[in-house]
Amino acid sequence: MEDQSIECPYKDITTLFPIDVKVIPHNEQRYETVGDYWFEGDTMQIRVSKMDSSHREFLVLMHEMVEVYLILSKGIVIEDIDKFDKRFEEFRTAYPDLVGDDEPGDHPKAPYYKEHQIATRMEKWLAQTLNEDWDLYEDKVNSLYRAPQA
């Protein structure tokens, strides 16, 4: 998928922006992730990997929406996150035993570490509210990373 992202037009979040959400096959993500966001023009694009449950897709979506709002409100540049995430996934490929199932945003050097942690806490709260077993949910998410891509 061609990267058509541009710099975020919302330097100061004083108004909400249009959001285009799509659930897509995992292998159509821009890189190895189950949730992704970027701007095309003034529209926030969010992509969530297709999963076996709408609850699980919803949890990923809510994580992405909370995270992106927080990073934009703090002036964190989306392109810096993309660079970090892609390098992290390259490192995972080279050293899978060192990285395991960790997410890029869980690394303390991630430019969005705090925002990712807050989004994950909200995601866990929603999972509990939906009676979604967190460990099973994480296993399902991580299985997408391990699945052979077509």
* Total length of the chain: 150
pLDDT in tens, 13-55: 556 789 999 999 999 999 888 999 999 988 999 999 999 999 9
Domain boundaries, the chain: 54-144
Task: Give bridge partners of residue 37 from the DSSP assignment.
Answer: 46
Residues in Cβ contact with 120 at an 8 Å cutoff, skipping those fewer than 6 apart? 63, 105, 106
SS3 label, residue 50: coil
Nearest to 5 by CA among 37, 51, 49: 37
Residue carrying the six token digits 């052979």: 148
Is the pLDDT assigned to residue 3 strictly greater than 60?
Answer: no
Q: What is the model's pLDDT at position 97?
A: 78
**Predicted TM-score (pTM) of this structure:** 0.85
